[in-house]
Structure 1
Amino acid sequence: MLHFSRWKTLLIWLVAFAAVVIAAPNLLSEAQRASLPDWLRHDRVMLGLDLQGGSQIVLKVERSDIVKDRLEEAVANVRNALRGAGIRYTGLTGNDRIVSVRITDPAETQKAVDRLKSLTTTGRDSASELTLQQGGEGQLSLQISDADITADVASARTRSLDIVGRRIAGFGYENFLVRPEGDDRITVQVLGSVDAERLKNLLNQPAKLSFHLIDESMSGQEALNGRWPATSQVLYSLDDPPVPYLVDRTAFASAGNMVDIQPVVDPQTQDTSIAYRLDAEGTKRLAEVTGQNIGKHLAIVFDDQVMSAPAIDAAITNGEGRISANFSEDGVRDLAVMLRAGALPATLTSVEERSVSPTFGGESIVSGFVAGLVAVVLVAALMIALYRILGVIAVVSLFFNLILIIAALSLAGATLTLPGIAGIVLIVGMAVDSNVLVYERIREEEKTAHSFAEAVGRGFSRAFATIVDANVTIFIAAVILFFLGSEAIRGFAVTLAVGILTTVFTAFTLTRSIVAVWLARRHPRHLPKSVLTHLFEHANIRFMGIRRYVFTASAAISLIAMAAFATVGLQLGIDFTGGSLIEVTAKQGNADIADLRSRLNDLNLGEVGVERTGGPANARIRIASQGGGENAEQSAATLVRGELEADYDFRRVEVVGPAISGELTMMATLGIAAALAAILLYIWIRFEWQFAVGAIIATLHDVIIMLGLFVLTGIEFNLTSIAAVLTIVGYSLNDTVVVYDRMRENLKRYTKMPLPILIDASINQTLSRTVLTAATTLLALLALYLFGGDVMRSFAFAMLFGVALGTFSSIYIAAPVLIVFRLRPESPDGEESNKTDAGVKSGTVV
């Protein structure tokens, strides 16, 4: 019997009302939200990059810059230490983390060792120590440890976070996020309309500006042809072609001494420059140096290049000046922004870029909304057609389930991505699965219960364990997906996980309470009559009778899929291979595929693929990995932008460097392995070991054939495909758990029934659930495939195939394995065994 106290019913509807209140601000504009009372929370779901538009760039601290700076520091310290002690030396060099020097007089070697020992501890931390080694003939070396460099890289990353944030803010962007990733990376996300190339240029450069004197002892070209003083270095200008300068190594002022930096553009000549003013210390040093070196030249150095080399005509005492910059107007403004924000401790290299235009994001929102609406209509129509008033209750529960999902995402401040919308659409189909399981269980209990109310109570209570077991498998897959790294996939994982939790909650609180009210007011004596609900009631299909043929066919298909996977292989996306994916829209007319292919081939970027996508004006460009490191990938994308920007708008740009692609491949492999292990461990704990083995074999069967599908169709295999595979694994085991749960129940009830007959009976008893739950999910996925947009079409296609495959494997793979592994030894006299079990007729339990 169902019984809900008034307080419990009131509490359930209060939760539903609170969810409506929390979710409602998502439908309001900014101005409308501002007018809400203070006590009402303003939490809402944030739109992700792929829906709102913007750029996400992953920056990596260049380890080589840190090594170079440490070597220069160590070389200078050795030089100063030996000179200060009056020790003669030669061959002082720094290379590959080792500083080498030879003491000219071997008798002074020990004195040099004693002097250099003070350099072996830098005082930064316990790990920052140099190793001093002594060789023959006065040879000494100081080695910088890997741990020391790693610590410096992490420190540089930490210092860079604030500088990067100031640069983006100085650029005029407001809606941005800067967060650390690992020990040496920074993820930057800027939402809205973004010039990605300009943003990357703004963030990549260290922007180290310093003031030096030109070494007038020889020209830069003479220095290159001979030997120059150790206290100087050869640097090149920003000119084209570059001019070499011999510059004193010691800087007497830097950008850190600048307190006022303004870009200046001459309105008549359009010449650009940077006007600056130095602080008191910088002003004093500049006055001293210029006063003592009238007639010589200054060198204003920017990132190891000479930006300007003005002559010193008189002492500069006011600390003000201008730096001529041969940049565009935008370039000089960006330079001013970088100088104001401060110099980075090292170069930040872009290792990944994902940019989306706001227009493309808006189209994705519309596509996702339409797909969701169609999915709700189709699923609602099916449920009402099948269950009449109970179907209406299921639809009401589904409606509140969706509100609960939005409310939970709003409270958590979660980001909604396009795959996240796909997750919500998928939940539309999966949410009513719980209602189907409950309603079909009620139908069975109605045959033995004394009253319909009793059957309803039994149906809810006995379906609970099955629903929990079935949803746990998908929840585990969602949790694993969350840690795969991509923001879009995380969005899918979050909505899927939240949807599973709200589905279980609504099924056993909201739906149950509404059904209880219906029972109390209408006093029905049986389930509402419907056209299709009795379709499988008297099913007596001998599934196990053809198990050997189906098993053999499945094994053959699996072997073919493995052979195709080994020989042909998957068409891996840039997530796993590196490279660039660019979608463009012609500014006028249609995209000319042949012209695009010809123009891009002229750029000598290697393998370039061009195809039409999402309409005649759109094209998708794939550029294979350049094989020259992170900078090569970024350079390729920059070349394509420069070539096409006059004729095409860029809808979407993804650039993945080799470091990121290698990590994504490893994470995807580990993610699949971890998900399989966790799910199967759960089944092992909940069921007998034979059930776990059956689930393992069925899961491997599904994964192998899914991979074969990707090989056969040539669909690109990327992180979204990983999400599809893992979700299918969870869904397939969802179906398997429903069948297994009934088998376990029948094993206790019919102790002498031969296993093949028991399995057939169990499958027939759950056939309506298996078919109907698959049908609701397939309807939602069909809506996603047809209306969800081009980006999600391959995901929806894989899911459509996977749901059908999972339904098949739960019957013809997971079940027969139990016979192979002798879950129950067959009786030598199966005929007599059948007679001892009342209620067994032609292999069907009634």
Structure 2
Amino acid sequence: MRNNPWLVSLYAVICCIGMLIALPNFLSQSALDAFPSFVPKNRVALGLDLRGGSHLVLEADEEDFVGGLLQMHLYDLQSFLKKEGVNILSLRQMKNKVSISFFDSISKGNVIDKVRFFFRGIAFKLNLDQKNNFLITQNSDQDISIVLTPYKIDQAIARAIEQSMEIVRQRIDQMGISEPTIQRLGSNRILIQLPGEQNPSRLRQLLGTTAKMSFHNVLSNNRNKGFALGASFLRDNNGNQYLVEDKIQISGTHLNGAVARFDPKTNQPVVDISFDDIGSRLFFEVTRNNIGRSLAVVLDGKVLTAPVINQAIPNGKAQISGNFTIETAGVLAVMLRAGALPVKLNIVEERSVGADLGGDSIYKGTYAILAGLVLIILFMIVLYGRWGLLANFSILLNIILTLALLSLLGATLTLPGIAGIVLGIGLAVDSNILVNERIREESRKNKSVFYSLDMGFSRAYSTIVDSNLTALISTVILFFCGSGPVRGFAVTMGLSIVVSMFTAISIVRAMMIFIVRYKKIKSINIRSLLGFSLIPDHTTIRFMKARFVGIGTSIILSIASIALLFTHGLNYGIDFDGGIQIGVYADKPVDLSIVRSNLESLQIGDISFQSFDGDKNFLVRLKYQPGGSPAQARVLEEVKKKITEIIPFSKIPHTEIVGPKISRELIRKGVLGVVLSALAMFIYIWIRFEWHFAVGAITTLVLDITKTLGLFSLFDLEFNLTAVAAILTLIGYSVNDKIVVYDCMRKNMRLSSALSFRNLIDKSINETLGRSVYTSMSAFLSVLPMAIWGGSVVSSFAIPMAFGIFIAASSSVFIAAPILLFIGDWRFKNTTR
């Protein structure tokens, strides 16, 4: 038995390239700059939860946008019908539709034809599809309604989102924010991620403001008392009311410059604006014809200022004053230079992480990885002696190659992503344990060393592929059903699974063959450093005798868990419950009752608190406030201000706002992910084994999940997206563990056909007992440091994962196997009748 030199060379090249690509992640920037230009210098980008920053999701306001589209064409339609000699009784807009009434039914056909002609002309001008743009509904013989079709709305919003992305990018660039991420989400959302310490209130103003500016004549309230047609009452920031003409004298589209500065006369911040040629001419005419009257400067339906025109202004320049700070004046200037958004964007999700908190997360994550790695290395050495060193080498290689792939793909490493690497270490060990146990099993038969190696790898191969593929399926589903940092977990976990299969099947095999040949080893003796196996060889435990106790206990625990879910419920995190969440870090223990009484004076509804990482830190949770995204921003700032008054030396590095629409979508995706993952496991096991194996695995899986949910409820652990990631990972791991037993059963069915099904199951469990216990222990050791030192962010993943590993290992023996026996006995009775 020899290594193929071409394959060994290929493995070496892959490893060397991987190490070269991963190298920049371990070097300082100055050391990296000293390397030649051909050396890859890409590093794994850190997510916002590790380096701090802001995450926002903006959603187009469809109702406002549709209303604006109709309003934009309303006056043109009225003028067109008048020009065409069509007499109508009334033409009015009601939210997302236009209603036209006429004098008699005779003119109905003429009106409909003219309306169709008008909208087709608009579609032609905008280079849009001239069909399927609007729908005419006949309410009566003298009344019709015009609505835009969903096709037209989707088409228009898609165009508006594309334009909005460019405007948002210009606004961010002009504020000097580096390395922004701006992506389109679906058809009507924009994802924005801004690294570094940011001012959330400034970002809301910058990104959540449409910045649609216009200039209107102000009518005298006394002279025009009762005047309503063609005018509206608008307010300024101080609550002053103005009766403003609806007619736009000058549109903000004619602006070509805006600069914030201090006015030397008033020593107050102002914004100087200038118009283009058309705007300058219009501005001159408006100021010339309205001397002595007020001209309102309106931004998004609110009056910024309404100065009196003293003289005609011919140079196309003006000054906007108001209650500005230098920051708000600067943001307004940026928005005016970038231009107005073509659609109103609402902030439906906002998350902010301070740089200090990100640094703390990096420290805890690194500490958890190193601690888990040390435990695994020691465990493998104790378990397999010097051969365990080879397994440890493959684990280190697994981490390096995973980092290389992350760097190569330009992936972002998040805190859950670090958890994915840690768990990937456990899965890499899983493959090595399967190989070592198979080789140890073959070497006991007194076969040659190369035969033991060859048969050990060959017989472990199918189990490794099956178990890793089930975990990979769960990871892929998690990627598509998750969002944000949870996707980062799915990416690192998926890459780690692929790399562990490569290292276990290829690299470890080649190195073992090389060592055996180089050292001229005559027999492989894989021994524990303890001098004895933790699980004795050739055990003959009659597990199926305890099948009724095992299943009965499991059902009782699952029923108790379900009862707990109905009575106590789950502690839903902000991902699923929506609302506002504020992380507070104090310098000394805090009496939360005092904080509660002070915050309740703000009259902001129900307030809940949750301590974490000791008695100095706590979360404040508020329900989603009525009034949309502006109300959430206002309440968030009020609460932050009040907390800093109560606890002067506190820090608030972490805030989140999640709207009800986002939370509903996350719930739907979470449920869908769990269902799809279970269904995928069922189909895969049915294809690879038989249907009754699939039924046994999925039934056990349901019982495992209910117990895990019961743990969340019992200990009031936060149930969020990270918790869903833990459940989906457990689905893959639980099935992984059962496949090891199933694979052995399938082998024994071929080799020991004379055994009864009960004895065959007992024999298979005993043969795989060592592998099952060792793989469970290695996975448990990999997540244990995260559960202890990982902090509150990953505790909702690590704690249920550690619990789930224990549940999955025991359920493989005491639940899945007995269910398989019951189904086997049932099939036998039905076939013998």
Compute the TM-score of the two structures, normalised by the length of structure 2.
0.94
Alignment match of 1:794 (pick from 796, 802, 811): 796
Q: Distance in 1 between matches of 2:746 and 2:369?
A: 37
CA displacement at 1:96 relative to structure 2:
3.0
Give the CA deviation at 1:824.
9.4
In structure 2, what is the equivalent of residue 423 of structure 1?
420
Q: Find the counterpart in structure 2 of residue 382 from structure 1.
A: 379
Compared CA separation, residues 341 and 730, structure 1 to 2 (3 A): same
1:685-715 per-residue CA deviation (whole Å, 9 max, x = no partner) reads 1002211111111111111211122222221
Q: Distance in 2 between matches of 1:817 and 1:540?
A: 20
- Aligned residue identity for 1:55: S
Query: SS at 1:14's partner residue?
Result: helix
**Residue of structure 2 equivalent to 1:840:** none
1:205 positional shift: 1.0
Give 1:248 shift: 4.7
Letter aligned with residue 401 of structure 1 = N
Distance of 2:433 and 2:113 partners within structure 1: 83
Match of 2:678 in 1: 676
Q: Is structure 2 residue 52 aligned with structure 1 residue 53?
A: yes
Alignment partner of 1:247 out of 232, 245, 266: 245
- Could you tell me how far 1:403 is from its partner in structure 2? 0.3
User: In structure 2, what is the equivalent of residue 699 of structure 1?
Assistant: 701
Query: Could you tell me which of 736, 750, 753 is aligned with 1:751?
Result: 753
Determine the C-alpha separation between the residues in 2 that align with 1:827 and 1:339. Answer: 81
Query: CA–CA distance in 1 between the matches of 2:467 and 2:107?
Result: 79
Question: CA 1:628–1:670 in structure 2 vs 1: closer, same or farther (change >3 Å)?
Answer: farther
Alignment map for 1:556-635 (pairs within 5 Å): 556-586=556-586, 589-626=588-625, 629-635=628-634
Task: Report what 2:340 is aligned to.
Answer: 343
Q: Any idea what the Cα deviations from partners look like across 1:375-398, whole Å, max 9, x if unmatched?
A: 111111111111111101111111
Equivalence for 2:178? 174
User: In 2, Cα distance between the equivalents of 1:757 and 1:184?
Assistant: 60
SS at 1:373 equivalent: helix
- Mean alpha-carbon deviation: is it higher for 67-76 or for 639-648? 639-648
Aligned equivalents of 2:551, 2:139: Cα separation in 1: 72
Q: 2-side partners of 1:5 and 1:117: how far apart?
A: 75
- 1:94 is aligned to 2:93: yes
Closer/same/farther in 2, CA of residues 382 and 546 from structure 1, 3 Å limit? same
8 Å CA contact 2:571–2:716 kept in 1: the answer is yes
Deviation at 1:629, TM superposition (A): 5.0
The alignment partner of 1:228 has SS state of: coil
Q: Tell me whether 292-301 or 9-18 shows the greater mean CA deviation.
A: 292-301
Alignment of 1:1-400 (within 5 A): 1=1, 3-85=2-84, 89-103=88-102, 112-121=111-120, 122-123=122-123, 124-127=128-131, 129-133=133-137, 138-215=142-219, 219-220=220-221, 223=224, 226-229=226-229, 232-251=230-249, 253-267=250-264, 269-400=266-397
The letter of the residue matching 1:49 is: L
d(CA) in 2 for partners of 1:534, 1:293 = 95
Hey, what's the Cα distance between the residues in 1 that align with 2:227 and 2:101?
19
SS of equivalent to 1:822: helix
More deviation in 662-671 or 574-583? 574-583
Q: Residue by residue, what CA displacement relative to the aligned partner does 1:523-567 show, whole Å, maximum 9, x if unpaired?
A: 332314332436320322110011112112212222222232234
Alignment check: 8 A CA contact 2:482 2:670 kept: no
Give the letter aligned to residue 795 of structure 2. R
2:461 maps to 1:464: yes
Q: 1:293 to 1:462 in 2, by over 3 A?
A: same
CA deviation profile, 1:760-819 (whole Å, cap 9, x unmatched):
111111111111111111111111112222211231110110000000111111111121
Structure 1 residues 125 and 738, CA gap change in structure 2 (3 angstroms):
same
Displacement, 1:240?
A: 1.8
Q: CA deviation at 1:182?
A: 1.2
Change (3 A) 1:247 1:510: same
3-state SS of the aligned residue for 1:609?
strand
Task: Kindly indicate whether the alpha-carbon contact (under 8 Å) linking 1:161 and 1:178 is maintained by their aligned counterparts in 2.
Answer: yes
Give the RMSD, CA atoms, in angstroms.
Answer: 2.3
1:483 alignment partner, SS class: helix
Unaligned runs of 5+ in 1: 829-846
- The question of whether the paired residues in 2 share the 8 Å contact of 1:71 and 1:94 is answered with yes
Q: Is it true that 1:475 corresponds to 2:472 in the alignment?
A: yes
Cα-to-partner distance string for 1:594-635 (whole Å, 9 max, x where unaligned):
332222222222221123322443221122344665554444
The 1:643–1:532 alpha-carbon spacing in structure 2 relative to 1, beyond 3 Å, is farther
Identify the residue that residue 555 of structure 2 maps to in structure 1: 555
Matches of residues 441-590 of structure 1 in structure 2 within 5 Å?
441-524=438-521, 525-530=523-528, 531-533=531-533, 535-586=535-586, 589-590=588-589
The amino acid that maps onto 1:746 is N
Separation in 2, partners of 1:222, 1:693? 82
**One-letter code aligned to 1:391:** G
3-state SS of paired residue (2:421) = helix
Query: For residues 108 and 324 of structure 1, what CA distance do their matches in structure 2 show?
Result: 52
For structure 2, list consecutive stretches of 5 or more residues without a partner in the other structure.
none
Of 737-746 and 31-40, the range deviating more from structure 2: 31-40
Higher alpha-carbon deviation: 770-779 or 613-622:
613-622
> Contact (CA 8 Å) 1:74, 1:99: kept in 2 or not?
no
Mapped partners of 1:51, 1:709: distance in 2: 28
Shift of 1:723: 0.7
Letter of the 1:559 partner, please give it.
I
Aligned residues of 2:217 and 2:244 also touching (Cα < 8 A)? no
- In 2, Cα distance between equivalents of 1:172 and 1:134: 54
With 103-112 and 72-81 compared, the bigger mean Cα shift is at 103-112
What is the rounded CA distance, in whole Å, between the counterparts of 1:68 and 1:651 in structure 2?
Answer: 39
Of 741, 744, 766, which aligns to 1:742? 744
CA distance in 2 between counterparts of 1:697 and 1:131 reads 51
Letter in 2 for 1:513: A
Indicate how the Cα distance of structure 1 residues 111 and 627 shifts in structure 2: closer, same or farther if over 3 A, else same: closer
SS state at 1:780 partner: helix
Task: State the Cα deviation string for residues 47-68 of structure 1 (Å, max 9, x = none).
Answer: 0010010010011111122122
2:582 partner amino acid: I
Amino acid at match of 2:699: I
* Counterpart residue type for residue 48 of structure 1: G
Deviations 1:717-773 (A, max 9, x none): 111111111111111111100001001100100111011111111111111111111
CA distance in 1, matches of 2:466, 2:400: 24
Decide whether the 8 Å contact of 2:546 with 2:814 is kept in 1: no
Equivalent residue number for residue 714 of structure 1: 716
Q: Name the residue aligned to 2:690.
A: 688
CA shift at 1:311, angstroms?
A: 2.5
Residue 113 of structure 1: how far off its partner (Å): 4.7
1:397-408 equivalent positions in 2, closer than 5 A: 397-408=394-405
Following superposition, the deviation at residue 508 of structure 1 comes to 1.4
Cα displacement (A) at 1:197: 1.9
Separation of aligned partners in 1, 2:231 and 2:464: 73
Task: Give the Cα–Cα distance (whole angstroms) in 1 for the partners of residues 177 and 680 of structure 2.
Answer: 43
TM-score of the aligned structures, taking structure 1 as reference length:
0.93
Q: Match for residue 411 of structure 1?
A: 408
